[in-house]
Amino acid sequence: MVPPSDEVQEGGTKVLDFSFSPAQEDYRCAVRQLALTELLPRYQSGDANQAYPADQVRRVLAFSREFWAERGEEPNLVSVGITAEEVARGDFNAVLTALGPTYTRLLLKEAAPTLLDRWLPGLTSGDQIIGLCLTEPGAGSDMGAMAAAAVRNGDSYVINGIKNSVSYLNADVFYVFARTDPEASGWRGISAFLIPREAPGMSFEEVEDLGCRAVPRGTLTLEDVEVPSEWMVGAPGQAFAMISHFFDINRAIIGLTCIGAAMQSLDETIEYTKNRIVFSAPLASNQAVSFGLAEDVTHLELAGLMCYKVLWMRQNQIPCQDYGAMVKWYAPKMAVEAVHRCLRLHGHYGYSTELPHQQRLRDIIGWQIGDGSEEIMKMLIARSRFGRATFDGNVETGRRQS
């Protein structure tokens, strides 16, 4: 599914190759098997009990580590995408923390070796969790309005601010973004820090969410939190550009997560409608039913191709911000529509909490907003196609210049 491959025909013309490598194909089958047998049976209880799937995450990470170690390979970004899509078939909420070292290293790309030594082992074994802290009461889509401040005090920084939409509020370490240059505005002058949960001055308050209920989300308040300057990730004032590069990847990962969950609902619904007899015939024998599902499969396959293309582009250092934005609005939207249809085709059974479609729907809706909403993604795409100047003066986003 990866267009185009590195394969070069005689004469030097690149050919399209939509296949995974043999190892990736084996990996995909094996992770799906694991997801369906070990994760799916526990997916709904995680939601009902609001229990973070720690064991499931560790299991996926250990499996993945062993699989690639046996082959003497590091999983590339496309392989990380496979993990996201297949794990989401079993448990949507086990995906983001189960993506392994390739993904986590990119999240912390500019972290100093001492910080990586401290945090990577726990984060990539599943024993520790990281929470990303960008959003504030006055800065969501417009991240350039960030008010959290980190003030230099000798060899340390003192941080004050409110981050009010932190997924993984149960994290062991928080990746906190704050303004270190009070003179700078917009996305300039923002720096990032890795701060352990137990740092004095941090307090936590959970919110009740519609979906993703196995992952606590809420507010982290920082009051005079003093951190050594070595805990800063990357260069001072450059954190916004740094995290923006990661967003391109994360948007494809979120897209594949939504697609995996929706594909699982589709598989279950195809099976159900083939067996459900209504008006003396299988439900699926009505084209009104099968054509709708056929459309959903088409949309999700297309969205999946785009997501893998984004990962492939990043793997090959090809700029892909606009493509990342495309998949971030398109894939969750198509997934929501597909799962909603699946729910309806199960009739009253679909509406009950006994079946997983309602949970997948609630979970996916969260990622229509998280990591950038549909409107903001379209803004990025429009800018890339119309040119930034077209919009200067009438839009304000985190990517503004001043």
Ligand X SMILES: Cc1cc2nc3c(=O)[nH]c(=O)nc-3n(C[C@H](O)[C@H](O)[C@H](O)COP(=O)(O)OP(=O)(O)OC[C@H]3O[C@@H](n4cnc5c(N)ncnc54)[C@H](O)[C@@H]3O)c2cc1C
Contacts of 383 (CB under 8 A, 6+ apart): 390, 391, 399
- What angle is formed at CA 341 by the lines to CA 337 and CA 343, rounded to 5 degrees? 120
107 sits near ligand X (criterion: CB under 6 A): no
Least distance from C-beta 364 to ligand X, angstroms? 10
Least distance from C-beta 261 to ligand X, angstroms? 14
The window from 11-19, 65-73, 128-136, 245-253 that contacts ligand X (CB under 6 A) reads 128-136
Per-residue CA distances from 191 to 58, 216, 220, 235 (Å): 31, 25, 17, 7
Q: Terminal CA-to-CA distance of the chain, rounded, Å?
A: 40
- DSSP alpha helix (H) spans, 49-112: 54-70, 77-90, 100-107
372 sits near ligand X (criterion: CB under 6 A): yes
- Candidate residues 24, 56, 128, 135; the one interacting with ligand X per rule CB under 6 A: 135
Helix (H, G, I), strand (E, B) or coil at 159: strand
Q: Smaller CB distance to ligand X: residue 166 or 202?
A: 166
Least distance from C-beta 164 to ligand X, angstroms? 8
Q: Which of 128, 135, 74 is nearest to 106 (CA)?
A: 74
170 sits near ligand X (criterion: CB under 6 A): no
321-355 b/e (C-beta count within 10 Å ≥ 16 → b): bbbbbbbbbbbbbbbbbbbbbbbebbeeebeeeeb
Least distance from C-beta 386 to ligand X, angstroms? 14
243 sits near ligand X (criterion: CB under 6 A): no
- Candidate residues 337, 370, 380, 400; the one interacting with ligand X per rule CB under 6 A: 370
By DSSP bridging, strand 130-133 and strand 173-179 are parallel
CA 84 – CA 290 distance, rounded (Å):
27
21 sits near ligand X (criterion: CB under 6 A): no
Residues 187-216 that bind ligand X (CB under 6 A): 212
Count of residues for the chain? 402
The window from 198-206, 299-307, 372-380, 381-389 that contacts ligand X (CB under 6 A) reads 372-380
Determine the residue with CB nearest ligand X.
140
373 sits near ligand X (criterion: CB under 6 A): yes
217 sits near ligand X (criterion: CB under 6 A): yes
Q: Smaller CB distance to ligand X: residue 251 or 299?
A: 251
Point out which residues bind ligand X (CB under 6 A).
132-135, 140-141, 165-167, 212, 217, 366, 369-373, 375-376, 395
